[in-house]
Structure 1
Amino acid sequence: MLVKSLVLVLTGLSLAPAAMANEPPASVAHKATLTLATAQQIAAQARKVAADHGWPCALAIVDDGGWPILTTRMDGAPVVAGIELAQGKARTSALFKRPSADLENAINGGRPAAVTAGLLMMKGALPIILEGQVVGALGISADTPAHDEQIARAALASVQP
């Protein structure tokens, strides 16, 4: 009797996921994701803007968890540690879902505790927003923070409305 009950319970459990495969539960939300193709498009635009202005840079694009999707360093990028800086800025922006400059401004504005977050609080990264959701971030390390942001804004304009 116990074996027959167990078979019925297991059979019922094995059918439930198959029946639900066509219809997601109401508690599951759609999550936009950043594709490699979109990351490549953003990177190409960033390189173009940087080259047009004579500001070679390192750049990094990460997903919403801060994990690298694409990193590159242009010939002549002036900062040797630029690729690490770009990655750190991008990761910070993605995890906080805001420009990395916001955290630099918090520190400079008297909130030194922000340093304890263990991330890179430097201007030069912007979140990538698609379908109204932060799906990643673009970090730039060129010659100045102002140029970093200018490159990032122009690159993101190619994919964001």
Structure 2
Amino acid sequence: MKSKPTLELKDVEAIMRASVAEATKNSFPVTIAICDDGGHLLALLRLDGSSSISVDIAVGKALTAALGRRESRLYEEMVNEGRTAFTTARSVTALEGGVPVVVSGHVVGAVGVSGAKSHEDAQVAKAGALAIS
């Protein structure tokens, strides 16, 4: 039997703090979602000025990164390169801004961010993911 690390509350809090700090530093009005490796939501924060729809999108990006074990932008790239059938895949939000959280080589969860430009969402998500990686 194999063992792997899992996210604890203190980890989720550290990820959220780092994500909020990056968003605040750059004045990005975003929603930040953090989930475990099964895509189950652990934390959600909608910053002032972020749109209502950013909640669903951020959660979708986190779910995609966690279950796919890769950045959600890779799915966006596949769609943009012509694999449009991927838009019908269940539990896939093919938009940049979802980043897996990796600890000791294991995907333990993911951060999804929505509300700014795609690369800015990813910037915030990466800051959060790196907080414990």
Q: Could you tell me the TM-score, scaled by structure 2's length?
A: 0.94
CA contact (8 A) 2:32 2:46 kept: yes
Query: How many residue pairs get matched?
Result: 132
**Counterpart secondary structure, 1:59:** strand
Q: Which has the larger radius of gyration?
A: 1
2:75 partner letter: L
Q: Is the 8 A contact 2:113 2:124 kept in 1?
A: yes
> Structure 1: which 5+ residue stretches go unaligned?
1-27
**What is the alpha-carbon root mean square deviation over aligned residues?**
1.0
Contact 1:99 1:127 (8 Å CA) reproduced: yes
Cα distance in 1 between the residues matched to 2:55 and 2:8 = 21
Q: CA deviation at 1:83?
A: 1.0
Residue type of the alignment partner of 1:147:
E
Q: CA deviation at 1:123?
A: 0.6
Q: Distance in 1 between matches of 2:120 and 2:9?
A: 25
Q: Following the alignment from structure 1 to structure 2, what is the Cα–Cα distance between the partners of residues 63 and 154?
A: 17
Q: Distance in 1 between matches of 2:47 and 2:88?
A: 31
Corresponding position of 1:102: 74
Give the counterpart letter for 2:46 in structure 1. Answer: R
Q: What per-residue deviation string (whole Å, max 9, x for no partner) do you get for residues 34-86 of structure 1?
A: 11210111111111111111112101001111010111111111x22111110
Matching of residue 84 in structure 1 with residue 56 in structure 2: yes
Give the partner amino acid of 2:110. A
2:25 is aligned to: 52
Matched, 1:116 2:88: yes
Q: Does 1:155 align with 2:128?
A: yes
Higher relative contact order, chain-length normalized (CA < 8 Å, sep 6+): 2
CA contact (8 A) 2:101 2:130 kept: no
For structure 2, the residue ranges without an aligned partner over 5 or more in a row are none
Report the Cα offset of residue 106 of structure 1. 0.3
In structure 2, what is the Cα distance between the partners aligned to 1:67 and 1:157? 20
Per the alignment, residue 74 of structure 1 pairs with 47
- 1:159, distance to aligned residue in structure 2 (A): 1.5
1:146: which partner in 2?
119
| Structure having the larger proportion of residues in helix | 1
Query: Aligned match of 2:108 in 114, 131, 135?
Result: 135
Q: Which residue of 2 aligns with 1:32?
A: 5
Q: Tell me how far apart the structure 2 counterparts of residues 91 and 116 of structure 1 sit (CA, whole Å).
A: 15
Aligned equivalents of 2:35, 2:103: Cα separation in 1: 14
